[in-house]
Amino acid sequence: MFNFSSLMVLFFLPQAKDLIITPATVLKEKPDPNNMVFGTVFTDHMLTIEWSSESGWEKPHIKPFQNLSLHPGSSVLHYAVELFEGMKAFRGVDNKIRLFRPSLNMDRMRRSALRAALPGFDKEELMECIQQLVKLDQEWVPYSTSASLYIRPTLIGTEPSLGVKKPTKAMIFVILSPVGSYFSGATLNPVSLWANPKFVRAWKGGTGDCKLGGNYGSSLFAQCEAVDNGCQQVLWLYGEDNQITEVGTMNLFLYWINENGEEELATPPLDGIILPGVTRQSILDLARKWGEFKVSERYLTMGDLTAALEQGRVKEMFGSGTACVVCPVSDVLYEGQTLHIPSMENGTKLASRILGKLTDIQYGREESDWTIVIS
């Protein structure tokens, strides 16, 4: 038996060829790339695609950046029926604009949609619509190899009723925001982390492995407590044995000599509580190709970390994500004690090498099939 909603997905795909483009008549001034606060400035256009269970996906529409008009009963506003993605367009040294492994973002967005009971869509068609949007706003991709254009695809439930149920109406929208460098100058600024098992970011059977808005709104309280305790971000712990899982909204890597005396780059496995980062995957792919040390997806606990610190076996710890690529960790505040991580003393050697390699690919200094040129 075919299920009705999957039939709908098959018959009513959003089609990039049907794209309706309404250009903005007034263009905004572009910001100075050296003075941009993340996600505060938006480009001239946006993409919207509406969906209903009766008619499927409507024609995609690129139009002037504007407020949304939503029924106050919309399920996104009440029950956080929402998911998002985060990716970037880079202007390369050859002036070409590239996306970095965007199909991984589209795959993840589809998985999030499924988990949020939001409609599926054709990944290639959506990708094509996003490329058209970036092309139209291409002058907003900063002329800088330390800045980029952040792309925020979003899918919301617009069901105009208060019933807690699968939405029969939804909308994709995509907005673009030029973003500056995460780091000031050539040095990687390290972060300090607050580790306290009283808050849990994600749990088995939950939604932590999907980019659902609700995961992030509910993390703010812990983030505030981290700041109140003099730290910059939360080190999320899980389970009886205080597994270390993620850092803020980044994946986590530990570069160390493991308990068996092996040089190892380790990150927690994708067991349902870890967000499958594109940067995480890229770091694993790179390090495995280098083949210079053991590369593992394995559990790491606070006990493993403290023992390794006592025995001088920790080389570096860093977070990874689209915003910063890599972000070294200098300290972890845990059970009233500050554990110092010698990432900076070790010259952030591995983190810097990864940053160099990935940005070479993103800015076209190195040919790679991880990028697609859009203009």
Ligand X SMILES: *Cc1c(COP(=O)(O)O)cnc(C)c1O
Return residues touching ligand X (CB under 6 A): 86, 211, 246, 249-251, 275, 277-280, 320-322
Cα dist. 24→147, 163, 215 in Å? 24, 37, 34
Beta carbon of residue 327, minimum distance to ligand X (angstroms, whole number) = 11
Beta carbon of residue 243, minimum distance to ligand X (angstroms, whole number) = 15
* C-beta of 12 vs 318, nearer to ligand X: 318
Q: What is the C-alpha to C-alpha distance for residues 313 and 285, in angstroms, rounded to an integer? A: 24
* C-beta of 132 vs 279, nearer to ligand X: 279
Q: Which two tokens stand for residue 39?
A: 């996600």
Q: Which two tokens stand for residue 22?
A: 């309404």
Beta carbon of residue 277, minimum distance to ligand X (angstroms, whole number) = 3
User: Parallel, antiparallel, or unpaired: how do β-strands 191-195 and 233-238 relate?
Assistant: parallel
Angle at CA of residue 13, ends 11 and 17, nearest 5° = 125
Beta carbon of residue 355, minimum distance to ligand X (angstroms, whole number) = 13
* C-beta of 196 vs 207, nearer to ligand X: 207
* C-beta of 243 vs 322, nearer to ligand X: 322
Beta carbon of residue 119, minimum distance to ligand X (angstroms, whole number) = 22
Q: How many CB atoms lie within 10 A of CB 27?
A: 14
Nearest-CB residue to ligand X? 277
* C-beta of 136 vs 275, nearer to ligand X: 275
Beta carbon of residue 128, minimum distance to ligand X (angstroms, whole number) = 21
Q: Which two tokens stand for residue 294?
A: 């053991």
Residues 6+ apart with CB under 8 A from 218: none
Give the chain's end-to-end CA distance (angstroms, integer). Answer: 44
* C-beta of 60 vs 321, nearer to ligand X: 321
Q: Which residues pair with 257 in a beta bridge?
A: 263
Q: What is the C-alpha to C-alpha distance for residues 217 and 50, in angstroms, rounded to an integer? A: 25
Beta carbon of residue 180, minimum distance to ligand X (angstroms, whole number) = 17
* C-beta of 142 vs 321, nearer to ligand X: 321
What's at 341, amino acid-wise?
I
* C-beta of 51 vs 100, nearer to ligand X: 100
Angle at CA of residue 277, ends 202 and 323, nearest 5° = 105
Q: How many CB atoms lie within 10 A of CB 373?
A: 11
Beta carbon of residue 375, minimum distance to ligand X (angstroms, whole number) = 23
Give me the residue label for tokens 């990687």: 188
Q: How many residues does the chain have?
A: 375
